[in-house]
């Protein structure tokens, strides 16, 4: 098999349609649309090793599975499993794999038999559900930061391809922005909506800080309803930092004192410039650093108050 087609084995088992299936036999035929993922809905979830170095906890599991159910509803998929059953499936899979390290978890609902864009045949049909995992290395607590471009690509809108649905087909929009940014020598991008207002990054929500106030676009701005964004809001209120959800202008990015992305994959990731104009002094700001530390403690279960976000494996 060519390297482009070989899927890297990242664990011994996957959870597939109710069974804990060995990785090697959980295969699909290349002719299926599912193999390229166009009409799927999916989630990205993380499990972190606890601060005791022993327990493994999934962060925001119920919220992610709720969003998966929302994506399924909006794409008129029927689901054979309840949200509780899918949460349990994630736990069962991590247990079966004996996972004892920081891990990324990817549930995907897809139609494996679909070989053409035969939309009516999948109306209210039950998709297959696959859950697979891989280890990842956190960047929390590091100085990793991104130079961003304001993308020339416009973010999708709710009445075209709703960004609220976490479906891989939406990610062509994000991908074009990310590729453009890399081509132009930036690390990543922020996309504006058709109204010229800030939406989000290719794989994360965005916050800026101006005059001590944390600003983020509302969930109606063409963004994914992010689990991490909700967690950040709670951490900001704990820090007594004023937080406002409102439309953000492009020029406010250039005037921000601090800026950061937040998301399951990207965690808390400082943005140190937009279009080469430095954010603040061009380094990770103090509030971003504080949030990075608090989020790190939250995902690792270091503080009792965050435990409601964690599901112990």
Residues that bind ligand PMP (CB under 6 A): 44, 174, 200, 203-205, 223-224, 226-229, 263-265
Q: Please state the closest distance from residue 33 (CB atom) to ligand PMP, in A.
A: 21
Q: Please state the closest distance from residue 184 (CB atom) to ligand PMP, in A.
A: 20
Report the Cα 300 to chain-centroid distance in Å. 18
Q: Please state the closest distance from residue 18 (CB atom) to ligand PMP, in A.
A: 25
Bridge-based pairing state of the strands 128-135 and 13-16: antiparallel
Which residues make Cβ contacts (< 8 Å) with residue 234, sequence separation at least 6?
none
Contacts 24+ apart (CB under 8 A), 293-296: 293/141, 294/235, 294/238, 294/239, 295/140, 295/228, 295/231, 295/232, 295/235, 295/262, 295/267, 295/268, 296/138, 296/140, 296/141
Q: Please state the closest distance from residue 217 (CB atom) to ligand PMP, in A.
A: 11
CB closer to ligand PMP, 114 vs 291: 291
The tokens for 252 are: 């406010």
CB closer to ligand PMP, 204 vs 299: 204
CB closer to ligand PMP, 227 vs 235: 227
CB closer to ligand PMP, 37 vs 265: 265
CA atoms within 13 A on the CB side of 208: 28
**What is the spatial distance between Cα 102 and Cα 46, in angstroms, rounded to a whole number?**
7
**What is the spatial distance between Cα 309 and Cα 116, in angstroms, rounded to a whole number?**
40
CB closer to ligand PMP, 87 vs 204: 204
Is 96 a known active-site residue? no
CB closer to ligand PMP, 197 vs 229: 229
* Residue written as token pair 């998301």: 263
Q: Nearest Cα to 293, choosing from 206, 242, 218, 235? A: 235
Q: Please state the closest distance from residue 269 (CB atom) to ligand PMP, in A.
A: 11
Helix count and strand count (H, E) for the chain: 7, 16
> 8, 46, 137, 166: which one is catalytic?
166
- Dihedral of the CA atoms 279, 284, 289, 295 (nearest 10)? 80
Q: Please state the closest distance from residue 57 (CB atom) to ligand PMP, in A.
A: 16
CA distances from 144 to 29, 156, 159, 283 (A): 39, 28, 36, 10
Known catalytic residues?
A: 166
């Amino acid at each position: 098999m060519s390297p482009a087609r070989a899927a890297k084995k990242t664990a011994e088992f996957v959870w597939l349609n109710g069974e804990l299936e060995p990785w090697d036999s959980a295969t699909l035929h290349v002719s299926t649309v599912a193999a390229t993922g166009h009409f799927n809905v999916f989630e990205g979830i993380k499990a972190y090793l606890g601060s005791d170095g022993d327990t493994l906890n999934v962060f925001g599991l119920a919220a992610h599975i709720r969003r998966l159910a929302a994506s399924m509803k909006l794409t008129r998929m029927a689901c054979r499993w309840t949200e509780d059953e899918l949460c349990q499936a994630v736990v069962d899979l991590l247990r079966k794999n004996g996972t004892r390290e920081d891990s990324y978890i990817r549930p995907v609902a897809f139609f494996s038999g679909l070989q053409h864009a035969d939309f009516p045949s999948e109306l209210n049909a039950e998709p297959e559900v696959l859950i697979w995992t891989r280890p990842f290395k956190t960047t929390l607590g590091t100085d990793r930061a991104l130079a961003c471009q304001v993308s020339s690509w416009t973010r999708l809108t709710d009445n075209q391809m709703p960004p609220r649905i976490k479906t891989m087909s939406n990610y062509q929009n994000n991908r074009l922005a990310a590729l453009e940014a890399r081509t132009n020598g930036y690390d990543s991008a922020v996309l504006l909506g058709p109204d010229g207002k800030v939406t989000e990054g290719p794989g994360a929500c965005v916050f800026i800080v101006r005059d001590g106030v944390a600003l983020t676009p509302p969930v109606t701005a063409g963004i994914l309803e992010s689990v991490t964004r909700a967690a950040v809001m709670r951490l900001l209120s704990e820090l007594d930092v004023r937080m406002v959800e409102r439309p953000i202008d492009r020029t406010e990015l250039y005037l921000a004192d601090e800026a950061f992305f937040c998301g399951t994959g990207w965690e808390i990731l400082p943005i140190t410039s937009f279009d080469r104009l430095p954010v603040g002094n061009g380094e990770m700001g103090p509030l971003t650093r504080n949030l990075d530390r608090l989020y790190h403690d939250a995902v690792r279960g270091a503080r009792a108050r965050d435990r409601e976000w964690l599901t112990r494996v």
